[in-house]
Structure 1
Amino acid sequence: MDEQKNYDGSSIQVLEGLEAVRKRPSMYIGSTDARGLHHLVYEVVDNSIDEALAGYAKNIRMTINEDGSVTVVDDGRGIPVSIQPKYQKSALEVVLTILHAGGKFDKNTYKVSGGLHGVGVSVVNALSEWLIAEVRRDGKVYRQTYAYGIPTSGVEAVGEYEGDKTGTTIQFKPDSTIFETTDFKYDILLNRLKELAFLNKGIHIITEDLRLPENTGEDEFGDIAEDDSDVTADIEFESAEEDDEDGESAGSKKKSGRTLGTKEKYHDLYYEGGIIEFVKYLNSGKTVLHDTPIYFERQRDGTDVEISMQYTESYNSNVHSFANNINTTEGGTHMVGFKSALTRVANDYIKKNNLDKDTKDGASLSGEDIREGLTAIISVKLLEPQFEGQTKTKLGNSEIKGIVDSLVTEGLAEYFEENPKVATTILEKALLAKKAREAAKKARELTRRKSALEVSTLPGKLADCSERDASLCELYLVEGNSAGGSAKQGRNRAFQAILPFRGKILNVEKTRMDRALKNAEIASLITALGAGLGDDMDMDKLRYHKVVIMTDADVDGAHIRTLILTFFFRYMPDLINSGYVYIAQPPLYRIKKGKAEYYAYNDKQLRAKLAELGDKGITVSRYKGLGEMNPEQLWSTTMNPETRTLLQVTIEDAIAADEIFSILMGDEVLPRREFIQAHAKEVENLDI
């Protein structure tokens, strides 16, 4: 029987009712901060992706509306509106009001589900001030409205449509009493939907933000077409953190584009090449060792595996894994299978072709060696994914390891035999990485903190704190001896340690670890933290649970901050992932009126304070460096836990983070120039 006919009210199966979502929303969406807010959109889009994976949808559109609501439209079959037998209600209402209700629990309806997060659109409904569902199905347009998850109307036929334009439209506005913020960030949503477009080749996804300047034109999937003009705003007195909805410069059918471009508010995402184009996109700012990415695909027992990989001249690996479109940031069985096969095939080829002249018995590359400079996407789509933990960041299906291992072993061995020049280039780089790793191991041993380490042995002149409970300790990384001196005098010696940097640390984006470890500033930083780095990092040995980067508010300070963050991102990612890295926010201005002193941390605060104080007898001083502050000022404005402002460094999107570090700190000049040109008008405090 035709599956289209099978998909009716009886296809909607109910696992359990919707309870306690509004009382305990974090149990269902992870948090009520910005991350949880954006998760609402992912849940709705995932349903549309499921329709596309089942072969019934080709177009998806996500719009942030002027009122802050979000609309998601697809051209799938449309959620059924017929009566669901168990509840004797419309299937549409069941899907939107009962937790775990949907066609994806029926294997005959959805073979593979990319949105099986355990919550679904019913949770979106429960956490929204209002929601409107519209279904185009069986020649009619049906609509139902909700408020806080409760129906405010029945399922009503409100019109008709011509042709085969079936589909579902969901529009919702998050509940401001539930979420800490209801301000959707377009660039965050764009990055995720771009990811989905790459992972599902041939699916057409349109994104737009109607809060930005108006669009013009028409397209075949609605009435809005891409506006090629750059949109910028006059933000002379605005805070950068209030104006960060960056779009990509060109994300269309014709070119992949980059998310870090101008402030466009419309993007047409379509990637016929799928993850091959994904890899090219990630490497667009790097020098590649072979022009065309390697690609494998295999289907077995209902499981589809796709792998694309390409080597670059960089020294870092960039391997991302996905299961049913979910970014498995902690890896899992598909990642294990990939890594083991990659290392085995590489070593076999080296021995067979005698490429290692320096080792008597031939090379024994580690996985780290062969992954140096590698960019890879591993995407598996399977019937019943098993994820470890509530966050679904690690795939646990044991059978996937063997499938991926077999695919990579066969495919890569064949590729190396057919492309010996490329194979030799890749493996010679890996052999150099092996030598560097062995040298780095020796250097790393020299930087390990011993239990009886004396402060005087540290080249960075660490002024340690007396507290020994790491959870209470803070380490300030301070630019320059002058600021370091003020920080040492102004700090609370009980729990605040100071490590001054003299000059800029090495740019680790352009060098291997062995050379990085010879840099005095990096060596002292590793030693002070005490936890090692890379795969050997032991967070239990970390001596400080707050690592605060405190640099000047000028170009050099920003550069030093970026260098430190690059080092943490590449060699100590667990430090960031654990939430231990912060950026200090020293004031930019001191405002004096008589004997009274005030501080402003940005131009907006300065303007407000000047308006409050009037225009007589006021003196404004701009701080260019931390060293201009005396110890008391530095303590009261920047280091006192009761009055300071710290920005916590997080990695919401590892792929986007990797991209921006590659652009800003890598070898390629053109992408960096384009980035600077695109964001030049956003600069607030230009130091010239």
Structure 2
Amino acid sequence: MTDQNQQYSESSITVLKGLEPVKERPGMYTRTDSPTHICQEVIDNATDEALAGFATEVDVVIHEDGSLSVRDNGRGIPTGIHPQEGVPVVELVFTRLHAGGKFNKKDGGSAYSFSGGLHGVGVSVTNALSKRLEVTVKRDGQISRIVFSGGDVVEPLSVIGKCPKKETGSEIRVWPDSSYFEQVDYSIPELERLLRAKAVLLPGITVRLTRPQKGQSEPLVQVWHYPDGLKSYLTALIGEAQEAVPVFSCENYISDGHESDFSVGEGAAFALTWLEEGSCASESYVNLIPTPLGGTHEAGLKQAVFNAVNNFITLHNLLPRGVKVQSDDVFGKTAFVLSARVLDPQFQGQTKDKLTNRDTLKLVAAVAGDPIELWLNQNVEYGKKIAELAIRQAQARMRSVKKIEKKKGSGVAVLPGKLTDCESEDIRENELFLVEGDSAGGSAKLARNKATQAILPLRGKVLNSFEVHQDQLFGNAEIHDISVAIGVDPHGVTDSPDLSGLRYGKIAILSDADVDGSHIQVLLLTLFYRHFPQLIANGHIYVAQPPLFRVDVNAQGKSKPARKLYALDQNELDGILERLKLEGVKETAYSISRFKGLGEMNPDQLKDTTMDPDTRRLLQVQIPETAVEETRDIFVKLMGKGEAASRRAWMEAEGDKAEVDI
């Protein structure tokens, strides 16, 4: 038990300086399963030099002692003294969070127009989590070196030799600190995939990986060089799978920023084809950073492909009666490699697995749409083949829905009157939003896609059902309505419930972004955890994330129309304001409003931020196998009736860590 009189005073507040936050919570800044990701940060910096047009070679070497070095022949990190900070720039880059050459992009003051790096956090994280890190720079005819340990300088910057003036570049050698990682070995497949992708996305650059081989005196050297770029890479990715049409590739970048909402140089390069048989893991990148979870750039390509194929089908009158082609019918058999170039990318999390800029959807859809449509109409036989694949897929989907209809029979419970149902009965695409309050329910009804999205407004707070017996649950009207709407009866963890009546593939909790909303979220999650565990296990339960703030930015001359930017929380708001500051937008040229609740949002805002699959944020509720016990203990502590004492002790111990929004 915690000391009841534990003091909470001014001295209780700890301020983490320098790189201490990274060491304290490494998982916030990088993946800690292996040191691969901290080394990826160094590789990303080297390839950003190539993206900027200065480096043609990147060499990665894994050494016998477990260290990894990355060498490029770019400009070399500046070694002079920083005008404001008074320390060498190379030292700043490796020891300060949020120090880098990738800001000030809009006003031309940045060293990089396009880059994967955006926070100035990456390589200083590598330094913080390394036992030793050596930086050698060739620049201005001198070879300089600086050495760090655990993020601190152990050998100050010094000149160690001379080189020809034309010879420039940087070499960084990292010894990761194994105490921060679950395993000490690098993931070779991940490194290979990353380096191969860099070579693909930068045609003409040569990338090498050198690593020791067990039992061999000579190391293994792999070289990647793709003069043909994306086309040859996608062909290699497809491998054994059978193509329906030849690979189509194209790159299209904005050439005149005054004629569009986007900046000069933004755009995308992509290669795509349709597969007759087999499957292929498609890949996407933003400024050379791999985005395994996709994001808005993939959604933009999907939209462009669907619109182009749909227009082709309409133009050539190919659609049979009664068939409606949807986006997934067209995109289901597509294999693609997409490389988007975005001036100011925003990712979900520091590991940059998913792109979240809403504007990028419009950007990629705009630059990809016309070339695809042109290609289809120049190659009518390929276009007809693709149309045939999409129509076949649509017919198969419609047949499977009809089967589901028959199985339901006539013994269906009467659906709750306040449920606004969707038209489709295909649970693979149907979604139910459990919305807090009637006013928010009204907005959600107008914002939804009535084909696939259903709305069930909930009045007041749902019962805490943690200790309610299964038989007593339907005494609560809200829980009764939820169960009938989703078509599944309450069940226990060990039961084998009948899920054949399930009416929605996704069930999303949509509550306000405030304390009350969080409470309703917890009550609903308790209900699903305790009485519908199979829905969580099968991945059907989601939590929607509405934004807390809206920033209205006035038009900046003719070339920049007015914008609405949304922030999930205070951190994202700070990031948006920082970006506007770097763009040179004055404080008087934008206003910040805070949503008190979902009911305040008009349907367009709610659709754009929270409900449209292409631009919303939806978190899937999962319980990792390793956290089953821990999850149960937390639910017992938070929701158990006899747990008031342990809740109080927990609040006293952990209360100072909570970020409360009152």
Structure 2 partner of 1:75:
73
Query: For structure 1, which segment, 537-546 or 108-117, has the greater mean C-alpha deviation from structure 2 after superposition?
Result: 537-546
Structure 2 partner of 1:635:
none
User: Post-superposition shift, 1:17?
Assistant: 4.6
Equivalent residues of 2:247, 2:271 under 8 A apart: no
**Cα 1:379–1:446 shift into 2, 3 Å:** farther
User: Post-superposition shift, 1:345?
Assistant: 1.9
Deviation per CA, 1:108-133, whole angstroms, max 9, x where unpaired? Answer: 31111123354121111111111111
User: Post-superposition shift, 1:409?
Assistant: 2.4
Letter in 1 for 2:361: K
- Please say if 1:377 is aligned against 2:337: yes
Structure 1 partner of 2:299:
336
Q: 2:242 aligns with which of 287, 292, 298?
A: 287
Deviation per CA, 1:33-82, whole angstroms, max 9, x where unpaired? Answer: 22xx2110111011101111111101111122111111111111111111
**C-alpha separation between the residues in 2 aligned to 1:401 and 1:542?**
35
Structure 1 partner of 2:33:
33
**C-alpha separation between the residues in 2 aligned to 1:161 and 1:282?**
41
**Cα 1:142–1:439 shift into 2, 3 Å:** same
**C-alpha separation between the residues in 2 aligned to 1:279 and 1:444?**
37
**Cα 1:101–1:85 shift into 2, 3 Å:** same
TM alignment of 1:497-508, pairs within 5 A: none
Deviation per CA, 1:637-667, whole angstroms, max 9, x where unpaired? Answer: xxx999xxxxxxxxxxxxxxxxxxxxxxxxx
**C-alpha separation between the residues in 1 aligned to 2:137 and 2:251?**
38
**C-alpha separation between the residues in 1 aligned to 2:80 and 2:621?**
48
Letter in 1 for 2:210: E
TM alignment of 1:392-431, pairs within 5 A: 392-431=352-391
- Please say if 1:152 is aligned against 2:107: no
Letter in 1 for 2:23: R
Equivalent residues of 2:29, 2:351 under 8 A apart: no
User: Post-superposition shift, 1:135?
Assistant: 0.8
**C-alpha separation between the residues in 1 aligned to 2:279 and 2:210?**
34
Unaligned runs of 5+ in 1: 1-15, 217-223, 225-264, 453-467, 470-492, 500-523, 549-573, 584-639, 643-688
Query: For structure 1, which segment, 38-47 or 116-125, has the greater mean C-alpha deviation from structure 2 after superposition?
Result: 116-125
**C-alpha separation between the residues in 1 aligned to 2:534 and 2:76?**
55
Structure 2 partner of 1:202:
204
**C-alpha separation between the residues in 1 aligned to 2:339 and 2:402?**
37
Deviation per CA, 1:329-365, whole angstroms, max 9, x where unpaired? Answer: 4444323332222222212211221223x316xx531
SS at match of 1:21: helix
**C-alpha separation between the residues in 2 aligned to 1:330 and 1:444?**
31
SS at match of 1:101: coil
User: Post-superposition shift, 1:196?
Assistant: 2.1
**C-alpha separation between the residues in 2 aligned to 1:394 and 1:448?**
38
User: Post-superposition shift, 1:545?
Assistant: 5.3
Q: 2:321 aligns with which of 359, 367, 375?
A: 359
> What's the TM-score, normalizing by structure 2?
0.58
- Please say if 1:188 is aligned against 2:150: no
Letter in 2 for 1:415: W
Structure 2 partner of 1:59:
57
- Once superposed, what is the RMSD of the aligned Cα atoms? 3.7
Structure 1 partner of 2:418:
none
Percentage of identical aligned residues: 30
- Please say if 1:305 is aligned against 2:268: yes
Structure 2 partner of 1:433:
393
Letter in 2 for 1:63: V
**C-alpha separation between the residues in 1 aligned to 2:492 and 2:247?**
57
Equivalent residues of 2:247, 2:272 under 8 A apart: no
SS at match of 2:60: strand
TM alignment of 1:109-188, pairs within 5 A: 109-116=111-118, 118-162=120-164, 164-188=166-190
**Cα 1:95–1:451 shift into 2, 3 Å:** farther
SS at match of 2:383: helix
**C-alpha separation between the residues in 2 aligned to 1:171 and 1:447?**
63
- Please say if 1:543 is aligned against 2:543: no
TM alignment of 1:480-519, pairs within 5 A: 495-496=493-494
Equivalent residues of 2:241, 2:280 under 8 A apart: no
Unaligned runs of 5+ in 2: 1-16, 256-262, 414-464, 467-490, 510-524, 540-616, 631-662
Deviation per CA, 1:594-638, whole angstroms, max 9, x where unpaired? Answer: xxxxxxxxxxxxxxxxxxxxxxxxxxxxxxxxxxxxxxxxxxxxx
Deviation per CA, 1:263-298, whole angstroms, max 9, x where unpaired? Answer: xx4311111222222321221120011233343423
Structure 1 partner of 2:576:
none
**Cα 1:206–1:87 shift into 2, 3 Å:** same
Structure 2 partner of 1:603:
none
Structure 1 partner of 2:438:
none
SS at match of 1:116: coil
Aligned residues: 429
User: Post-superposition shift, 1:92?
Assistant: 1.4
**C-alpha separation between the residues in 2 aligned to 1:161 and 1:56?**
18
- Please say if 1:268 is aligned against 2:228: no
Equivalent residues of 1:131, 1:146 under 8 A apart: yes
Equivalent residues of 1:531, 1:537 under 8 A apart: no
